[in-house]
Structure 1
């Protein structure tokens, strides 16, 4: 039964990491039009739960240091004397693509979690007979 617990530990860590990633991506999408907003990114990292078992977790959140988009709108309250202000550096297409990838990874981890749970339940049913 220890192998089932290990599989559940690994898949649940993947579920948590992808959920955190989706939260971060949704923050980026929500702030796509916020002036001065910098895109947030976070890498995944391996965390050892035991010497023979590794799980995944979200690393430290970092701000994307790429240039902010310069927007010309003289009527905007943040516009300078030339009528420009700095928007965000969030690319909506990239964020949506990343969100789809995270969603599919989440679903794959959820399916593995469910299959592991079903296998352990079936094993317990066989042992009871």
Structure 2
């Protein structure tokens, strides 16, 4: 695999993990959002899914975003009869965002991002050493 192909493969991983971190940040930012109308649904946690792809021209494997889907987990219900978003029984639906899960996902995405950066640096270093040998 040449430098261009290895950098392209790692770049697909960088783009994918960057999007994943952005979606996680949106989830955390909306973790306290409630419905605008009484009995309505609050913010639904979003999850990024990936798929592997082959670049037919170079033969390199990469990753792309398959989709960004809403998490099907149930919303949390809290009793807040004074809230404008409360239903007839006084319950407010809260987002299905768990801060601990989001933090763990963010850490995993960060590590994957760093691994792709390290792969680019390693490919660049090997190419530089090869050039030095040819001098």
TM-score normalised over the length of structure 1: 0.91
CA distance in 1, matches of 2:129, 2:74: 55
Runs of 4+ in 1 over 4 A off after TM superposition: none
Deviation track 1:60-93 (CA, whole Å, cap 9, x = no partner) reads 1111122111111112111123211111011111
1:5-24 alignment, distance < 5 Å: 5-24=4-23
1:56-95 alignment, distance < 5 Å: 56-95=63-102
2:39 matched to 1:40?
Answer: no
Structure 1's unaligned 5+ residue stretches are none
Q: Once structures 1 and 2 are overlaid, which stretch shifts more, 9-18 or 48-57?
A: 48-57
TM-score normalised over the length of structure 2: 0.87
- How many residues align? The count is 127
2:39 equivalent in structure 1:
none
Relative to its length, the structure with more helix (as a share) is 1
RMSD of aligned residue pairs (Cα, Å):
1.4
One of 94, 99, 113 as aligned partner of 1:106? 113
